[in-house]
Amino acid sequence: MEQLSGQDASFVYLDTPNTPMHIGSVGIYDPSTAPGGFVRFKDILAHVESRLDKARSFRQKLVRVPFDLDHPYWIDDPNFDLEYHVRHIALPQPGDWRQLCIQVARLHARGMDLSKPLWEFNIVEGLDNIEGLPKGCFALVAKVHHAAIDGMSGVELSAAVHDIEPVPVDRSAKPKWKGENEPAVTEMLMRTWMNSVTQPVRFAKTLAQTVPGAARLIREVAGGDVSLKGAKMAPQTILNGKVSPHRVWDSTVLPLAGVRAIKDRIEGATVNDVILTIIGGGLRKYLQQRKALPKASLTAMAPISVRADGEKEALGNLVSAMLVQLGTHIEDPMERLAFVRKEAVNSKAMTNAVGARTLTEYSQFIPSGLAGLGARLYSRLGVSNLHSPVFNVVATNVPGPRVPLYFAGAKMVRMMGTGPIFDGMGMINAIYSYGPDIAISFTSDRDMIPDPANYAAALKEAYEELLHAKPKAEASAKPEVKAEPAPAKKAAAKPVKAKAAPKKPALKKPAVQAAKPAAKAKPKAKK
C-alpha cells in the first residue's frame, strides 16, 4: 500500500463530471506488419495481458481515506478484469479523419470509475479513409488518470506494451499478482494520525530547502539575470471560463526536420521554443477569426519533469511548471520566435533559481478534505469567470522514440496526445514526437472551440509562415548600420537623409534585437 503525494491527490479532488482528470494518447497502427498480416482483438487482449507486470499502473486502484481526512492510497486490485479495461469499437463508414476526431473527443469526455485501476485502452477499427495512412489501420485511444502518471511516466507505460520489432504475441505469458485486501478503517485512521504528527517536521524541511532558492532568485533579479516583467496575470480569453462536459480533439502533424530548420535560424532557440511559437501563431490566427484576440500576449503553462533517473517507474506526478508568454500580440513570426525564446529562457532561469523540485514538495501539505471541497465549490460557483487567469493554455511536450514501435505486431505510424481541461483553462496542447514527425494535438471544450478543424488549420499555417519567413528585421538592419558613416562625407543635401536614417533603426530596434542572436538580446532583457 502506497500513499499518493499531495500533487497526485489533487487530480483526484479536481475530478468532476465536467472535468475528468485523465491524460492519454492516440496511436495509429498498421496491422499489415503483424505475423499473418492482421491483428485480431483477442491478439490484443493476449498481448496486453502478457505485459501487465511491466507497469504498476495497470493493476493498482485507489482507496480513499474516510471523509478524505488524508490523501488516498494505491493497492493492487484483487478483482482485476482485463476486458473491462481493453475495449473494442469501430468507426462508421467512410472512416475518415473527422470521424476519428469526434470519437476520440467522446471517449476522452467520459470520466473513469475511480474504484477500479485508472486506465482504459479503446481499440478503434475502421480507419479506412484518412489521408497519409494505409487502409485497414486501427487506433489505440489510451486513457490513464493523471493521479497515476505524468507525461514522462506515461512514456514508461507506453514502453510496457510496445516492442521495437513485430514479434508474435506470446500467449503463454500470463503474469499474475496477488491482490491486496482493502485496509481496515482503523488502519487508515491510524496512518492519518501518524502523518499529522510528522507533517510539521516535513514542512520545516521543505521550508529550509526553499530559503536558499528564494535568496538565489533575489540575487539573480537584482543582477539582471532574471526579469519579473512577465510575472503578471494572463488576459481573459474565450478559453478561460467554466468548462462543459463536452470535448473536442484534433491534431496537426508536422515534419520534425522542418521544425529543427526553423530552430536553427535563431541562435540558442530550441525545438520547444519553435513549438510554443507555432501554438502562439495558431492561437493568434484562430482568435482573430473569432474577433476575440486580446491585446496582451497569451500565456502558456509548460510542465517540467523533475523525475530523477531512479524514479522513472515511480507512480504519480513528479513535475513542476514554467509560464511562457506566447507572443500572440506579435504579427511577424520570426519576431515572435525571438520573443518566445527570451521568455522561455527567463522563465527557466526563474524556475531553476527557486528549485523546480522544491515547488512540488509543497503540494504534499494541501489539506485533503479542504482541497476536495474547494475544487467542487470553485467549479459549482463558476469562480473561474470572476478573475483573470494565471495562464491561458497548457503546452506539454513529451519526447517520443526515434525508432519504429510495434503493438501486438502492428507498426505504429502516428502518435498523438490528449489531456485534461478544467475551469479557467479550456485548452491543452499535447506535443508528441515520434520518428520523423512531431504532432501538436489539442483537447478543448466544445463550447469554447466549436470549430476545432479551424484551429488545427491555424497551427499548420503558423508553421508554414515560420518555415518560409525571412528575417526582415535582421536583413534591413545590417545595410542601415553600414550606411551610417557614408552620408557624413557627402554633400549638404545628404546629411538630411543621414539624420532621418538613424530614426528608422531606433524605431525598429526592439524588432531587430528580438530577431538577433542571444548575444545582442541580453542587454534588452536586463532593462
DSSP string, 170-189: -TT-----PPPPPPPHHHHH
What is the phi/psi pair of residue 31, to 5°?
-75, -5
What's the CATH number for 2-189? 3.30.559.10
Residue 84 CA: distances (Å) to CA of 122, 123, 227, 427: 10, 13, 51, 29
The sign one gets for the Cα dihedral 216, 219, 222, 224 is negative
Q: Which uninterrupted H or E stretch holds 414?
A: strand 410-418
Please choose, from the candidates 386, 295, 276, the residue with its C-alpha nearest in 3D space to the C-alpha of residue 342.
276
CA distance 39 to 139: 12
CA distance 471 to 467: 11
All three cell numbers of 267: 541562435
Same fold, 2-189 and 226-400+421-468: yes
What is the phi/psi pair of residue 377, to 5°?
-65, -40
Unique residue bearing C-alpha cell 469526455: 109
CA distance 110 to 245: 8
Residues 153/316, Cβ–Cβ less than 8 Å: yes
Amino acid at the residue 90: A
Amino acid at the residue 220: E
Residue 516 CA: distances (Å) to CA of 143, 191, 501, 512: 43, 58, 20, 6
All three cell numbers of 255: 515534419
CA distance 479 to 468: 22
CA distance 348 to 425: 22
From first to last of its 527 residues, what are the pLDDT tens digits of the chain? 888 887 788 888 889 899 999 999 999 999 999 998 999 999 999 999 999 888 888 889 999 988 888 889 999 999 999 999 999 999 998 999 999 999 999 999 999 999 999 999 999 999 999 998 998 999 999 999 988 876 455 667 788 899 999 987 777 777 777 778 888 888 888 887 877 767 666 656 655 555 555 555 565 555 655 555 655 789 999 999 999 999 999 999 999 999 999 999 998 899 999 999 999 999 999 999 999 999 999 999 988 755 445 545 554 445 567 899 999 999 999 999 999 999 998 887 766 555 555 555 555 656 655 666 666 666 666 666 666 788 999 999 888 888 999 999 999 999 999 999 999 999 999 999 999 999 999 999 999 999 999 999 999 999 999 999 976 544 333 433 333 444 443 344 444 444 444 444 443 444 434 333 444 444 443 33
Please choose, from the candidates 286, 291, 270, the residue with its C-alpha nearest in 3D space to the C-alpha of residue 342.
270
CA distance 515 to 509: 10
437-445 vs 247-255, strand pairing mode: antiparallel
Please choose, from the candidates 166, 168, 167, 148, the residue with its C-alpha nearest in 3D space to the C-alpha of residue 156.
148
| Domain locations in the chain as residue ranges | 2-189, 226-400+421-468, 474-526
Distance of CA 403 to the CA centre of its chain: 22
Please choose, from the candidates 409, 443, 441, the residue with its C-alpha nearest in 3D space to the C-alpha of residue 426.
443
CA distance 54 to 42: 20
Amino acid at the residue 96: D
Q: How many residues does the chain have?
A: 527
Q: Which CATH architecture has domain 226-400+421-468?
A: 2-Layer Sandwich (3.30)
